[in-house]
Every structure is written in structure tokens, then in C-alpha cells.
Amino acid sequence: MTSRLLLAMLFGIGIAGGAAAQPYPSKPVRFIVPFAPGGGTDILARLLSQNLMETLGQPVIVDNRPGAGGVIGADIAAKSPADGYTIVLGSPGPLTINPNLQRVPYDAPRDFAPITLATLSPFVLVVHPSTPAGSVKELIALARSKPGQLNYGSAGTGSVSHFSSEQFKSLAGINITQIPYKGAGPAITDLLAGRLNFMFENLPTIIPHVRAGKIKLLAVGTRTRSKIVPEYPTVAEAGVPGYESSTAFGVLAPARTPAPIIARLNRDLANFLQSAGTREKMAAQGVEAVGGTPQEYAAYLKEELAKYGRIVKAAGIKAD
């Protein structure tokens, strides 16, 4: 082994064109966000980018590329050079849902290198107070006594809220009716007004209404009780074994990004996400900071991709 190659392996130095490249990082990093500015994903990306700027000593530029449920931005990231200067914020839509609903121009497991699972927030089951059900079992019993008469709101066909409800429908063996909306906001408005019986929605979005007593929270969708609202049972322990639904955001790079660079980015992001200050701030918003290993994030994405595939098949869901 040549001394130059040994140095490259030890210090993450690239070798190209017969000459050693500069140590990483030596220029700005582009952080692609597959959604429009101003939303929760954008806020998270800017929080992470600020931390990376401090640890890498280089600008980290957030590049919003919205469209097609996140597919456009994800495709740009997948086709970017695998040199550590492009990373992307991953979410269920482009990584695990859309690949099960339609043809996408990339293969998520093949074309991305996971860096870390950044945050996790459960989808929670909430009902309007007029719905005579104070528990998951009571809601299931009510649905079975009125086949097809109970309705639930979703943020649209193919959304996480839709999949969360269809998974519940399948595992509980009940007949319920979807009312799809163009986004979670209008669905929540109708739930608050009593025009919907129940819905599954992301905890950070819905928890203010729960705390205000306007709707009832029956259970959380994560496999274990949420650290944010530990007083509520999981859907699985409340009567639907095998149920799991949450929204996860993570950071990935194009496939074949050098392992030392992945390790460096993982270390920097994980240290930030696992700090007490970060966890406390995110918990106040109903979000759990994670910061796991690349291998853990890869395993999580594999499980989610398979889960959504099963739900699509069982419910016969088609893309709009």
C-alpha cells in the first residue's frame, strides 16, 4: 500500500486525477431540502446546517427543491457527486412512500448513503369529543358496530396520515371511510369542528389542540411510549398488536460517498442531536431527537419501505 493511499484512508483525503485532493471539507456543503421554505422540514434542515457549519468550518447552504412530494429534490441529491459536498434531508414521502406508489427516478436503498436518523415523532390517534370512544378498543368496537359509517381525515391519499389510518383499519379489521384533504390543516379544522370522527396526525401538529381540550388523544403510533407524552399508551399496547406509525427525518448523502466522510458527518450530527439542550428544545415541540448510526438509519428505512409496501397492497392504494 502506498503512503499516499494510506494517508487518504486515515484522514478521509480523496485521490483524483493522480494527485491527492484537499482534506474534507474544503468548500461549502449543499444541503438539499425536497420541500418549500418555511415548513417544519426546512426549519429542521436549517437547525442542522447551522450546527454543521460550526463543526465543519465551512458554509452549509440549504437548497430548497420542492415538488412531486419530495421526489424532485431527492432525485437531484441521488444524482449529485458522491464527494461529501451534497447531503439531503430524508423523509417518508420520497424515500419510503412514493417508491411504493409510483415509479420514481431513483432507487432509494441503492442510490443513497444514510448518515443519521435525526428526529422521530409519532403519529397519534385523536378523536373528536363527540365520538363516543374513550380508548382504542372502544373506537374499534364502535367502528365494527357501524361499518363504513365512521370517517377519518387525512392530508391526502398517499400521505403518512392516510397510511397510518389504513394500517389501523387493516390490523384492527374494521371498515372506515377516508375523507382526503389537501394537507393536514383543513383536515384538523374539520376534526375540531366535529365533521370528522377521528384521524391520525403528527404529534407536534396536533398536541396544542389536545392540551387545549378540543380533541381527545387515545394512543401514540410509535412502538414504545413517546418520551414526549409518556402517559398515553401505544396503539399496539392499546389493542392493535403490530401497529407502528411515525414521521422520521434523517440526513443522507449520494451513494458511494466515502465512508470516512459519512462517519465524520454522522459524528457531528449525532453529537448535536444527542445533546441535552437539543433534546429538550425538540421535546418541547413534540419531536424526539435521535442521532443514531448510519447502519441504524439504513435498517429503519428498509423496514419502513417494506411496511408501506404491505399497506399499499392490503388497501389497494393508488397514487392520485
pLDDT digits (tens, 9 = 90+) for 67-84: 998 999 999 999 999 999
Residue 125: strand, helix, or coil? strand
Can you read off the three cell numbers belonging to residue 241? 398488536
Is there a single domain that holds both residue 215 and residue 309?
no
Mean pLDDT of the region 258-267:
98
Residue 10 structural domain? 3-121+247-315
Tell how strand 177-180 and strand 288-289 pair up. unpaired
Which residue's C-alpha cell is 503512503?
Answer: 3
1 has pLDDT over 70: no
Residue 32 within any structural domain of the chain = yes
User: What CATH number is attached to the domain comprising 295?
Assistant: 3.40.190.150
303 has pLDDT over 50: yes
CA distance 228 to 104: 35
User: What CATH number is attached to the domain comprising 197?
Assistant: 3.40.190.10
pLDDT digits (tens, 9 = 90+) for 276-293: 999 999 988 889 999 999
pLDDT digits (tens, 9 = 90+) for 9-61: 444 444 333 344 689 999 999 999 999 998 788 899 999 999 999 999 999 99
For residue 34, how far is the Cα from the chain centroid? 12
SS (H, E, C) 34-68: CCCCCCHHHHHHHHHHHHHHHHHCCCEEEEECCCH
Instruction: Name the pTM for this structure.
Output: 0.86
pLDDT digits (tens, 9 = 90+) for 229-248: 999 999 999 999 999 999 99
Give every CB contact of residue 136 below 8 A, 6+ residues apart in sequence.
125, 218, 219, 233, 235, 238, 239, 240
pLDDT digits (tens, 9 = 90+) for 32-44: 999 999 878 889 9
